[in-house]
Chains A and B, each alone.
Chain A
C-alpha cells in the first residue's frame, strides 16, 4: 500500500508528465489558452490514457510476450491507440452525447499526443503490474490535468500583461513553464 501511495505521489508531482518528463508538450502549449479547453483536454487525456494503457498492457503481457514478439511493441501500440481513439469517439457519440460534446473535439488530437503512447511504453519499461499500472496511469493523467489547469489560468492573466513584443505567444509561455518546473522539481524533497 505504501508503495502505491509513493508511486501515485511521484507520478502526480515529482515525475510530472509535462514538467519533468516532457511528454504532451503540444497540447500543453496549444490548448492551454482557456481554462475550459484545458479542462476538457485534460479529462480526454485521462480517459484515453487509462483505456489505452490497460489494453496495451494486457496485449503486451498476454500476446506479445507469450509469442515472443516484443519487438513489435511500437507498431502494435500506436495502431491500438489510434484505433482505440476512433472507437472511443464513435462509442461516446452514440452512448453519451453530453460527454462527447465535452471531449469530442479533443479526441482526434490525442492520437498523435506523445503522452498517451509514452505512458503505455513507460508502464512496460518500468515493469509495473496491473494494479501499479492503473495507479501510475491515473495519477500521471491527473498530473497532466493539474498542470494544464494551472498553466491555463496563468495564460489567461497573461493576456492582460505587458509582454515584450519578441516574447509574445510561445516564448513567454515557455519561460512561465520553466518557473512552474522549478516549483515542481522542489517537491522532490518531500520523499
Chain B
C-alpha cells in the first residue's frame, strides 16, 4: 500500500463513521451546528494523529514492545487519555464557548472507538510515518462525515451555517422564498437520528448501485 492509498482509505473506502459505524455518540450529539462539528474534528484530529504516532513509536521499538505487549490496552488508554486532557485544557483556556457547547463529549474522546481501534489495528503494527498518514486520513474522513451531517442539520433546523464564531452564512432567505419556517426538529435529538439514518441509506444505495454496475461490467466482459 503506498502513501496515497493509505491516506485516502480513511476518507472513502474505510470511512470510520459511514462505513465502519465507529464513534457514533459524538457524531449524533455535537452535529447541531457546523461550528461544533469542526471543533470536534479538531479535537479528534489532534488526539488520533498523535496517539497513532506515539503508539507506533512505542511498538516499533522491539525492546519496548515486548515489555508493553501484555498490558498494551491500558498503555494505549493512558496515552489517549493524556492527549485528551491536553485538548480539554487548551479548549477550556482558548475556546471557552466551544468547550461548553461540546461539554461532556470532549473527555469522551477517550472512549471513541475510532482512536483505540486505529491504535490496535494499525499503529501497533506499522511504522510511525505510516501511522501518522493513517491517522490524518481517518480523522479527516471522520471530520468530513460529521460536517456533512451537521450541514444538513443546521441548515434544515436553523436556516444558518456557522463556520466559526461570527463567520455565519445566513440562508433563511431560501425558507422565506418557499414561505416555510426552518424545521426546528432537526436540531433536536430526533433530527440527529433521522439525518444520520437517511444519509447512511443514501450511501448504501449509491454503493449498491456502484456494485451492480461493476458486476454487469464483469458479466459483459466475461
A74 touches B84 (CB 8 A): yes
Contact stretch, chosen from B57-65, B74-82, B153-161, B168-176: B74-82
Please list the 9 inter-chain residue pairs (A to B) with the smallest Cβ-Cβ separation, ordered nearest first.
A174-B197, A178-B193, A166-B205, A171-B201, A22-B29, A178-B194, A25-B24, A75-B81, A175-B197
How far apart sit A125 and B105, CA to CA, in the bound complex (Å)? 12
Query: Which residues from A are CB-within-8-Å of B202?
Result: 166
Q: Is A113 interfacial (CB-CB < 8 Å)?
A: yes
Q: Is A20 interfacial (CB-CB < 8 Å)?
A: yes
Q: Is A158 interfacial (CB-CB < 8 Å)?
A: no
Q: Is B97 interfacial (CB-CB < 8 Å)?
A: no
Q: How large is the interface on A (under 10, 10 to 19, 20 to 34, 35 or more residues)?
A: 35 or more
What sequence of 0s and 1s flags, for each residue 149-191 of chain A, a beta carbon within 8 Å of any chain B beta carbon? 0000000000000001111101111110110011001000000
If A29-B24, A74-B81 touch, whether A165 touches B200 (CB-CB below 8 Å) is: no
Chain B nearest Cβ from A74, distance in angstroms: 5
Query: Which residues from A are CB-within-8-Å of B28?
Result: 22, 25
Q: Is A36 interfacial (CB-CB < 8 Å)?
A: no
Chain A nearest Cβ from B31, distance in angstroms: 10
SS class, residues of chain B in contact with chain A? helix
Contact stretch, chosen from B4-12, B106-114, B132-140, B214-222: B106-114
What sequence of 0s and 1s flags, for each residue 81-109 of chain A, a beta carbon within 8 Å of any chain B beta carbon? 01000000000000000000000000000
A74 touches B198 (CB 8 A): no
Query: Which residues from A are CB-within-8-Å of B194?
Result: 174-175, 178
Query: Which residues from B are CB-within-8-Å of A165?
Result: 204-205, 208
Given contacts A22-B29, A118-B25, 10 further A-B contacts (CB under 8 A): A29-B21, A78-B110, A82-B77, A121-B108, A166-B205, A170-B197, A171-B204, A172-B197, A175-B194, A181-B188
Query: Which residues from A are CB-within-8-Å of B84?
Result: 74
Residues of A within 8 A of B (CB): 19-26, 29, 71-75, 77-79, 82, 112-114, 117-118, 121-122, 125, 164-168, 170-175, 177-178, 181-182, 185
**Can you list 28 residue pairs at the A/B interface with Cβ under 8 Å?**
A21-B29, A22-B25, A22-B192, A25-B24, A25-B28, A74-B84, A75-B81, A79-B78, A112-B113, A117-B111, A118-B104, A118-B108, A121-B104, A125-B103, A165-B205, A167-B204, A168-B204, A171-B197, A171-B198, A171-B200, A174-B197, A177-B193, A178-B191, A178-B194, A181-B188, A181-B189, A181-B193, A185-B189
How far apart sit A21 and B205, CA to CA, in the bound complex (Å)? 29
Q: Is B142 interfacial (CB-CB < 8 Å)?
A: no
